[in-house]
Amino acid sequence: MKQSAPELLKKSGLKVTKQREAILDILLSSPAHLTAEDIYLDLKAKSLDFGLSTVYRTLSSLEEHRIVEKTGLPGDTGKQYYEIAHLGHRHHLVCVKCKRCIVLDECPVESFTAAVCKAHGFTLTGHSFEIFGVCPDCQN
């Protein structure tokens, strides 16, 4: 299931540049939910100092090609979060304090979502199921 960054880029007809490769690598290796700035700082930490706009532009094209997904988190300060697209499936357990995020494998709602869509005449494109809580470390 896991693909390498250059492969993914090539498959979508995008030119393979070290900027894109590095950005995609970060997203692939992160558990989840990164902001554009997170990525920018992460790059800096690796002494890869690209412009912030490159990060944004790369994220947009990756989003257009359905490689990553953009999302918002509840109660947050208006930043956008990016993560590798999982074909419309997101199941996370998120700590509301430290934003740590655990990926859930189970999906107990597949049949439910399909039924709801059918009932309302919608064409299902995906769903998001996120549980919010305070993780053990943040409970003091």
- Give which of DNA, a second copy, none residue 15 binds (C-beta under 5 to 8 Å, depending on kind): DNA
Q: Is 21 annotated as a binding residue?
A: no
Q: Is 91 annotated as a binding residue?
A: no
In the bound complex, what is the minimum distance in angstroms from residue 126's beta carbon to a second copy? 5
The SS3 call for residue 18 is helix
Contacts of 88 (CB under 8 A, 6+ apart): 125, 126, 127
Choose the stretch contacting a second copy; rule: CB under 8 A; options: 8-16, 27-35, 43-51, 73-81.
73-81
Q: Please, what's the largest Cα pairwise distance for the chain?
A: 52
In the bound complex, what is the minimum distance in angstroms from residue 102's beta carbon to a second copy? 6
**113 near a second copy, rule: CB under 8 A:** yes
In the bound complex, what is the minimum distance in angstroms from residue 24's beta carbon to a second copy? 19
- How crowded is residue 57: how many other Cβ atoms within 10 Å of its Cβ? 14
Summarize as ranges the residues that interact with DNA (CB under 7 A).
10, 14-20, 35-37, 50-54, 56-61, 77-80
8 versus 36: smaller Cβ distance to DNA: 36
**109 near a second copy, rule: CB under 8 A:** yes
Q: Go through 80-107 and write b for each residue having 16 or more CB atoms within 10 A of its CB, e for each that does not.
A: ebbbbbeeeebbbebbeeebebeeeeee
CA distance 31 to 119: 34
- Give which of DNA, a second copy, none residue 136 binds (C-beta under 5 to 8 Å, depending on kind): a second copy
